[in-house]
Amino acid sequence: MATFDNTEVRQTYRSTLVEELRASGSRLVGGLEIMLPQNFGFCWGVDRALAMVEEARRVYVGRPMWLIGSIIHNPRVNADLRSKGIGFLKGSFATEGALEKLSENDVVIVPAFSATVEDMNDLRARGVTIVDTTCPWVIKPHKRTLKYLKEGFTTVIHGTVGHEETAATCSLIESEGGHYVVVYSIEEAEVLASFLEGQCDEQAMRSGIRGGSFSPGLKVDVDLQRLGVINQTTMLASESRAIGDRLKLALQARDGEVAYEDNFRDFDTICRATQDNQDAAAAVADTQPDLYLVVGGYDSSNTKNLARVGRRLGVPAFHIEGPHCIGDKLQHRDHTSGEILEEGAWLPSKRPLRVAFTAGASTPDAVLGEVIEGLVEFAGETLVI
């Protein structure tokens, strides 16, 4: 399965409206100007993972098929796979006891964001057939962290504790006897930098960085001497760069201008699709639309960061999951607290009104199209497709 054909996937999730808008970039609908960025939606890695699932369904027809958890972070896509008879081994849709009963006849799909070393070892021990859809971009931080480990560096991961990709990276480091620190934001990196510069003690540093961020048994006096930075592939690229720069400054301050070079490494592992989507989202936000709706699963890291791109450029950007979020109150994920909130009076009454949309790398065009149609209808305009 080295090559893949995404025709079927794209056909399943196509939207005529989005295709039109992708070609034109914008469209006037009554008093609304609807805008889309140059890059958005399904990335190469998602296309590939879903095409691999369809191929596996053809090759292993009749055999029980499972996902460890979500294939990608989109509720529509995961529901579609469940409706095709693919079970879940973990998470809220898990079939009770299925994991323990796996045997040689079962087929297990590893998601695009990879799996932990423990899960992979368990699957191999049970003799199941493994369909590994791990995105090649996710392998990049894995390779880099193994290089750091070989050279005696502790890995600093700009990522989200609990996200499948970062959990897999952490488990890889642990399995090789190495250490890591996960920082979620520039604020958490600042706490780590302050400790490295001797401005706070270990307790303050550990409590200033969210729980679960340190490898078990990490000794700060030994394991924070040499640091190599990587990023979860879907983080905010500008923030990743700022984190690398801040930690470099901290080691320069601690070790001196020359000596720090032996103790610091920084390697950009943001994936191309994330970078392209963020750049395109920023270009649209730069035109200062009146409203920016960012569509994607609430647990989708790259979608969360697209919303942050809009907010950082001063645009009222909302991360919403789908058409069901549009109504008198807009359901959205708060970009700072992560809570799912409802916003009243969210649609400005002024006309003309410039509304931009974008979608995460795991968001089907069909869902984005339904959101645009929902917004137009809610605004009292008529869309002719």
Q: Does 361 bind ligand SF4 (CB under 6 A)?
A: yes
Cβ-in-10-Å burial (0-12, 13-18, 19+) of 53 comes to buried
| 138 sits near ligand SF4 (criterion: CB under 6 A) | yes
Task: Kindly list the catalytic residues.
Answer: 165
* Beta-bridge partners for 77: none
Helices (H), 182-332: 186-196, 202-208, 220-223, 237-255, 272-285, 301-312
Q: What angle do CA 125, 129, 135 make, to 5 degrees?
A: 100
- Percent of residues in the chain assigned helix, strand, coil, to nearest 5: 45, 15, 40
Task: Report the residue number, 27 or 76, with the smaller CB distance to ligand SF4.
Answer: 76
| Contact pick of 86, 120, 224, 273 for ligand SF4 (by CB under 6 A) | 273
Cis peptide before 136 (omega within 30 of 0): no
CB-CB contact of 270 with 301 (8 Å): no
| Residues from 20 through 79 that contact ligand SF4 (CB under 6 A) | 43-46
Give the residue at shortest CB distance from ligand SF4.
45
Q: Give the pairing of strands 26-29 and 32-35.
A: antiparallel
CB neighbours of residue 272 within 10 Å: 13
Q: Which stretch binds ligand SF4 (CB under 6 A): 115-123, 145-153, 271-279, 329-337?
A: 271-279
Total residues in contact with ligand SF4, by rule CB under 6 A: 15
User: Using CB under 6 A, which residues numbered 291 to 310 contact ligand SF4?
Assistant: 302
Binding to ligand SF4 (CB under 6 A) within 189-248 occurs at 233-234
DSSP assignment of 130-188, as one string?
EEE---HHHHHHHHHHHHHHHTTPEEEEES-TT-HHHHHHHHHHHHTT--EEEE-SHHH
Interatomic CA distance for residues 49 and 54, integer angstroms: 9
Closer residue to ligand SF4 (CB): 192 or 229: 229
Kindly indicate which of the ranges 177-185, 258-266, 270-278, 343-351 contains the residues binding ligand SF4, using the contact rule CB under 6 A. 270-278
Taking CB under 6 A as the criterion, the residue among 112, 120, 306, 371 binding ligand SF4 is 112
Q: Is 115 in the site for ligand SF4 (CB under 6 A)?
A: no
Region near ligand SF4 per CB under 6 A, out of 6-14, 196-204, 267-275, 323-331: 267-275
Least distance to ligand SF4 from the beta carbon of 6, Å?
Answer: 13
Q: Which residues bind ligand SF4 (CB under 6 A)?
A: 43-46, 112, 135, 137-138, 233-234, 271, 273-274, 302, 361
